[in-house]
Amino acid sequence: MGFVLEIGNILLPLIIVGGIAIFVVVRMKHKYKKGTLSKKKSKNAQNLLDSLIPLGMMFGSALGAIISMYSPLSLLFTINIGAGIGLLFGYFAYEIFGKKIV
């Protein structure tokens, strides 16, 4: 029984983050094929827009590392989940900022 729970604890972050990554990649691929990727007029705004998803992943990983210090969850679990949630939030920030006219 303990072996099955250990396997579940190992695979759970992989399944969650993999699902998030597949969602984001499929959505971005769909936007690319339709030609509706967000474009900004200024170069600085475009650079920020292009950096939102990786920045979300970095902030999520950092937050996961901080959470692992104060909780009984393992460092590997919290960093993986943090990066996945950061990827999702970075994608939503990309969508929101991409619609604003700057």
pLDDT attached to residue 37: 84
Q: Look at the chain and report how many structural domains it folds into.
A: 1
pLDDT at 102 over 60: no
Tell me which residue range forms the domain holding 78: 2-99
What pTM does this model have? 0.86
Q: What is the pLDDT of residues 38-62, one digit of tens each?
A: 888 889 988 888 899 999 999 999 9
Instruction: Report the alpha-carbon distance of residue 76 to residue 21 in Å, rounded.
Output: 17
DSSP letters spanning 8-60: HHHHHHHHHHHHHHHHHHHHHHHHHHHT-----SSHHHHHHHHHHHHHHHHHH
User: Positive or negative CA dihedral for 6, 7, 12, 18?
Assistant: positive
Tokens 């210090």 correspond to what residue?
69
Residues 6+ apart with CB under 8 A from 97: 38, 48, 49, 52
User: What pLDDT score was predicted for residue 85?
Assistant: 95
pLDDT of residue 67: 94
Count Cβ atoms below 10 Å from residue 25 Cβ, excluding itself.
12
